[in-house]
Amino acid sequence: KQEVTQIPAALSVPEGENLVLNCSFTDSAIYNLQWFRQDPGKGLTSLLLIQSSQREQTSGRLNASLDKSSGRSTLYIAASQPGDSATYLCAVLLYGNNRLAFGKGNQVVVIP
């Protein structure tokens, strides 16, 4: 069974600092990995999707890396802003599978 772990569970950073969120998974036979954002009481917003053949994806201030062999992904958010406060979820899709396996999330607070 694929296990997805996100560390730390919660963190607070002052505005302007770079955010580093970690995700690890136990089964390296993944098809892709997605990072999502979830605001309180809301659904999931897809931020970045990395295919298994890719090493990283970038969108604006966001950069996600993937090291499939070590079972790790990192989400970097540059120059954090209070609007980045949210829970960030990592999810992997296994080959031959249609279900996403999620971590429990990194709850982020950016302090103005």
Partner 1 sequence: GAGVSQSPSNKVTEKGKDVELRCDPISGHTALYWYRQSLGQGLEFLIYFQGNSAPDKSGLPSDRFSAERTGGSVSTLTIQRTQQEDSAVYLCASSPPESYYNEQFFGPGTRLTVL
Contact positions vs partner 1 (CB under 8 A): 4, 31-32, 34, 36, 41-46, 49, 51, 89, 91, 93, 98-105
Report in angstroms how near the CB of residue 15 gets to partner 1 at its nearest.
28
- Minimum CB separation of residue 57 from partner 1 in Å reads 11
Backbone phi, psi, residue 51, to 5°: -70, 160
What is the helix (H) or strand (E) element at residue 55, kind and residue range?
none
User: Least distance (Å) from partner 1 to the CB of residue 17?
Assistant: 27
Nearer to partner 1, 71 or 103 (CB): 103
Work out the burial of residue 42: count CB atoms within 10 Å of its CB; fewer than 13 is exposed, 13-18 middle, 19 or more buried. Answer: exposed
Q: Which amino acid is at 92?
A: V
Nearer to partner 1, 86 or 110 (CB): 86
Separation CA 41–CA 13 (nearest Å): 22
Task: State the nearest-atom distance from the C-beta of 40 to partner 1, in Å.
Answer: 11
